[in-house]
Amino acid sequence: MVEQKSGGSILFVASVSGHLVVYPQPQAAYGMSKAAVIHMTKSLAAEWAVHGIRVNCISPGYMDTILNHGPAMDQIKATWLSRTPMGRMGQPSELMGAVVMLCSPASSYITGADLVIDGEFSGCPSML
């Protein structure tokens, strides 16, 4: 994009785990890597704005994917749901509106943003 002088949009996928420590699963390395993605988003947004390149990210919360299926996950999912005010996991399709918006001209003045999409898991400390 820089060489072509075309500008554009870059969207990274971080995680609610980049904002807070999640529990009960042990995943320090995962959380640290997602926090790094959030920081990289903000740094690149500042550095590349002069080139007309917008850099944003989304931070999904717990999403209902195949990775969370099976009886071994039942107790962990119960903990997640008890701490999520919406009382459910997100569906991957619920990320698409944010993805389209952040990659389109509709967000032409948005850069360095991290949109948390987590059913209010991360913003409700009384649930933790």
We report the CATH number of the domain holding residue 61 as: 3.40.50.720
Name the strand (E) or helix (H) holding 12. strand 8-13
CA distance 79 to 83: 6
Q: Mind listing the pLDDT tens digit for each residue in 48-98?
A: 999 999 999 999 999 999 988 999 899 989 988 988 999 999 999 999 999
In-domain check, residue 73: yes
In-domain check, residue 22: yes
Catalytic residue among 6, 17, 33, 34: 34
For tokens 């704005």, name the residue: 49
Which residue range forms the structural domain that includes residue 105? 8-116
In-domain check, residue 19: yes
The pTM assigned to this predicted structure is 0.91
% pLDDT > 70, the chain: 97
CA distance 106 to 3: 24
The answer to whether residue 104 is catalytic is no
DSSP 94: G
Number of domains within the chain:
1
In-domain check, residue 128: no
The answer to whether residue 30 is catalytic is yes
